[in-house]
Structure 1
């Protein structure tokens, strides 16, 4: 997902659509990218000559030059959010700024079966449309912020082969946030698991699945990262260990070496050379 982290979207149309029974969409060719999230009802869709039956929980993605035709069901009318946009991703190549447009990895129709993720996306799309509707001199900045979260969730879901439950991601992220503000305290696996009301073994399982490492290993990594900042700021080793949750110099140095491969003293020397 790194290639999308600097994305700057530009919106041309944002709408919350509640279709009348006669609603239909005809567009010879798309000029922009488009997301359409269906949260209720049904519709028939033809995109680039291929037919789809679409309904609640499906995300539609259209690219420039896609041809499309859609018609709502007259008995179960479609309700959806839609946004037309373009984007660029600036990057610094070492000498100057350049721009690229990495391809978005979505199919024309994506089925979001995770109910927690779907609810979160519906809320974000609703927030995006309200920001756009109300308008203000800050609406573009706020809209980009919300859209970035939408895109992050979709990319994370897509990259996980759609098997990763969003509720697990949310629990892991909540524990990570807790670690980020309480790393200086004495934290046990059980204490971390209590923050999201699950068992310690289940938290370990979630972390391995979502983060790629056990919770305590991640906590040590956070503590060592903070310790490096403090060492660079001139704090003594004895001051540092108390600020990052350790009370034993030997144990801290062993943890530091396990993460960095060298001792704190050697690491600090390497930063000053």
Structure 2
């Protein structure tokens, strides 16, 4: 762990997470875990009832449909409500491990004081974006994924460790998507929603910052700053990304690269090719040939 309590997990696309333990249970009234630290990471999904999680200096009241996460050596205490004890599913996992074989977390649990700092886990999404994995989050329709992980862990059918790796990878990815696009930032993202929708519908148009700011009702300088803060890209880079997304589809059917370039509003095929390769790693011609071969 880094001394500044920041853990750089790595690049999302190269992670090899593994499940160490998965369980489903109903707590007794007032039942508590901690104060303690664990040697791996843990995600908890509350099915019903209420509990309180103290994580370092912060406390969270967690209810049905809500999730919490904490990492290795992060001091925490979890207490079930006396009047409304909670039922929950819990997953212990490591971010990166060559072997998918579970290592039970029991021996890594230690008593501690709650006045220590909590680790922040940073994950690199791509060359331009990095996010902090959230300590608290709400996700729709996530319960079944937790249940599948618990089921695979409990029954240990042939190949279960590989299935568990796939399921926890899916869970981590969905949490990250939710953090980028979901409920926590939904209110803020609504501010630029008209601009996002306009770019997605018409990526072939050479949108100016002034036009996009006017659509959203903001001054261009404020709009640009807000857009970068919420999306992680400048409006110009977001437009390029959307164009290349559409280009991938068009290249499957188009006869020539020039045809796609023109449809997407490029006045220079060389600029289009440069944009395409910077994002995909392939030239449009290479992408088209690869798609035909597959």
TM-score band by shorter chain is: 0.5 to 0.7
Deviations 1:46-80 (A, max 9, x none): 22254332212322111211222222113222122
**Aligned mate of 1:244, from 207, 230, 253:** 253
Output the CA distance in 2 between the equivalents of 1:30 and 1:249: 54
Residue 12 of structure 1 deviates from its aligned partner by 1.8
Residue 125 of structure 1 deviates from its aligned partner by 0.8
1:8-47 pair list within 5 angstroms: 8-47=16-55
Output the CA distance in 1 between the equivalents of 2:274 and 2:68: 47
Q: TM-score, normalised by structure 2?
A: 0.53
1:1-273 pair list within 5 angstroms: 3-88=11-96, 103=122, 105-108=132-135, 110-112=136-138, 118-160=139-181, 162-164=184-186, 212-213=238-239, 217=243, 220-223=246-249, 227=251, 244-245=253-254, 251-252=259-260, 254-255=262-263, 257=269, 259-260=272-273
Aligned CA distance change for structure 1 residues 216 and 36 (closer, same or farther; 3 Å): closer
Aligned CA distance change for structure 1 residues 249 and 136 (closer, same or farther; 3 Å): closer
Output the CA distance in 2 between the equivalents of 1:73 and 1:41: 8
Residue 18 of structure 1 deviates from its aligned partner by 2.1
Report the counterpart of residue 218 of structure 2 in structure 1: none
What SS does the corresponding residue of 2:11 show, helix, strand or coil? helix
Residue 148 of structure 1 deviates from its aligned partner by 1.1
* Structure 2, gaps ≥5 residues long: 1-8, 99-120, 124-131, 188-200, 202-229, 276-282, 287-294
* Structure 1, gaps ≥5 residues long: 91-101, 113-117, 166-188, 190-208, 228-242
Deviations 1:185-225 (A, max 9, x none): xxxx8xxxxxxxxxxxxxxxxxxx9995599946641145x
Residue 130 of structure 1 deviates from its aligned partner by 1.0
Q: TM-score, normalised by structure 1?
A: 0.56
What SS does the corresponding residue of 1:137 show, helix, strand or coil? coil
Output the CA distance in 2 between the equivalents of 1:70 and 1:42: 11
Bigger relative CO (Cα 8 Å, ≥ 6 apart): 2
Output the CA distance in 1 between the equivalents of 2:56 and 2:50: 20
Output the CA distance in 2 between the equivalents of 1:215 and 1:86: 32
Equivalences, count: 193
Aligned CA distance change for structure 1 residues 79 and 267 (closer, same or farther; 3 Å): closer
Counterpart contact for 2:49–2:81, Cα < 8 Å:
yes
Report the counterpart of residue 118 of structure 2 in structure 1: none
